Structure 1
Amino acid sequence: MHQIIVFASGSGTNAENLIKHFSSNPLAKVAAVFCNRPDAGVIPKAEALEVPVFVFSKAMLQDGTVFDEVKKYHPDLIVLAGFLLKFPDEIIRNYPDKIINIHPALLPKYGGKGMYGMHVHRAVYDNKETETGISVHYVNEHYDEGGLIFQQKVIVGDCASADEIAARIHELEQEYFPKVIEQVLNLKS
């Protein structure tokens, strides 16, 4: 069975969805959630589903302490699900093509440092885009520049706010992210 580690910084809806999806899936399980914010909503969600949580600081991410903890789980895949810090080069080097991220836009549009969550949705809305979507990509040393694995579009020209766009993106994330992770793991089998 494949071991998945999820890194998250926020409310944890994508992490929760992944934990539930893989709890009855013989292919893989979410072995742990790593979080850099002690007040993040993902922590009680993971704990309620009996998944261990490791809370760390930015300094622990940069000095390698987090990497030492990651190694204990022997992950086949590291999934960034709303994780906002830049991932250390050391972990990227040690897990080539084993770290993926979901981004709430059709990369390369609306990617890069500072482009996450509502910042993306507001930019899409302010620029009067008629469509946007999600991108799942491999993580490399640059924000949102790793190789694309999957994209799914949604029409948003009729949305009256960035919040409406966010809701449509959230639906795509919930539906497609677990399926894409399964595909990635099947390729590694």
Structure 2
Amino acid sequence: MQAIIDAIKTQKLDAEICVVVSSNDSAYGLERARANGIPAFVRAKSSFKSLNERDESILELLKPYNVDYIVLAGYLGVLTENLVNAYPDKIINIHPALLPKFGGKGMYGINVHKAVIAAKENTSGATVHYVDLGTDTGKIILQESLEVLPDDTPESLQARILENIEHKLLVKALIKLEKEKSKRTIKL
């Protein structure tokens, strides 16, 4: 999220972050949002009877903000059909692997990097993609890769991808969407 805030402040990205919704009440992104005057809310799965109820709450929360895109940047939660269908081709996610490899159920965080190393891959990276009803199956917007080093651990690979690719790639993808959208500021 900080990369997006910084890109907006430096005018690399013509966007406005209207609202932040977290799946975790201790997510640092909430503090970043509040420090920048951005309304921030938590919609944790544990606070609702069902995922549908949680996502209906998210949909109601988003209505007054008229967002153009939902950016899943560290949001750990599977979205329901109602939420995905309410924003077709308007929800984007960053995934720490070169999809379609190492995507799907259970492939998040350090699990992805453990799988990449176990498979003895020569390259890894990150992918920004649209969210659809599958898990990590949406149309790819952008990808970037780096070499998996012989001495990489899951932790070192994760750190290198995060530092060298993920934050920058998410901003690049948003710039691409902004250019495709029109000449007006996109609302996130």
TM-score normalised by the shorter chain: which range applies? 0.7 to 0.9
Per the normalisation by structure 1, the TM-score is 0.86
Q: Please tell me whether residue 23 in structure 1 is matched to residue 9 in structure 2.
A: yes
Q: Which residue number in structure 1 is paired with residue 135 of structure 2?
A: 143
Does the 8 A contact of 1:106 with 1:132 survive in 2?
Answer: yes
Q: Which position in structure 2 is the counterpart of 1:91?
A: 83
* 1:47-58 alignment, distance < 5 Å: 47-58=34-45
Hey, what does 1:6 align to over in structure 2? none
Q: How many residues matched?
A: 175
**For 1:179, which of 172, 175, 182 is the aligned residue?**
172
Corresponding residue number in structure 1 for 2:185: none
2:31 alignment partner in structure 1: 44
Aligned counterparts of 1:23 and 1:163: Cα–Cα separation in 2:
31
Shift of 1:49: 2.1
Q: Can you give the 5+ residue segments of structure 2 that lack an aligned partner in the other structure? A: 183-188
Equivalent AA in structure 2 for residue 152 of structure 1: E
Structure 1: unaligned runs, 5 residues or longer? 1-14
List aligned pairs for 1:81-120, cutoff 5 A: 81-120=73-112
The CA distance in 2 between the partners of 1:38 and 1:108, in whole Å, is: 30
Q: How does 1:121-140 map to 2 (within 5 A)?
A: 121-140=113-132
> Which deviates further from its counterpart, 22-31 or 125-134?
22-31
**Structure with greater strand share of residues:** 1
Distance 1:24 1:160, change over 3 A: closer
- Partners of 2:144 and 2:92 in 1: how far apart? 16
Aligned residues of 2:84 and 2:131 also touching (Cα < 8 A): yes
Which stretches of structure 1, 4 residues or longer, exceed 4 Å deviation after superposition? none
The whole-number CA distance in structure 2 between the counterparts of 1:147 and 1:175 is 19
Q: How far did residue 84 of structure 1 move? A: 1.5
Quick one: distance in 1 between partners of 2:139 and 2:19?
Answer: 25
**Structure 2 length-normalised TM:** 0.87
Question: C-alpha offsets along residues 85-116 of structure 1, whole Å, 9 cap, x if unaligned?
Answer: 11121121121111110100001111001111
Contact 2:142 2:169 in 1 (8 A): no
Q: Show the counterpart of 2:186.
A: none
Higher relative contact order, structure no. (Cα contacts within 8 Å, ≥ 6 residues apart): 2
2: CA distance between counterparts of 1:27 and 1:50? 17
**Cα RMSD, aligned residues only:** 1.5
Identity in percent:
37
- Which range moved further: 56-65 or 161-170? 56-65
Partner in structure 2 of residue 188 of structure 1: 181
Q: Structure 2: which amino acid aligns with 1:55? A: V
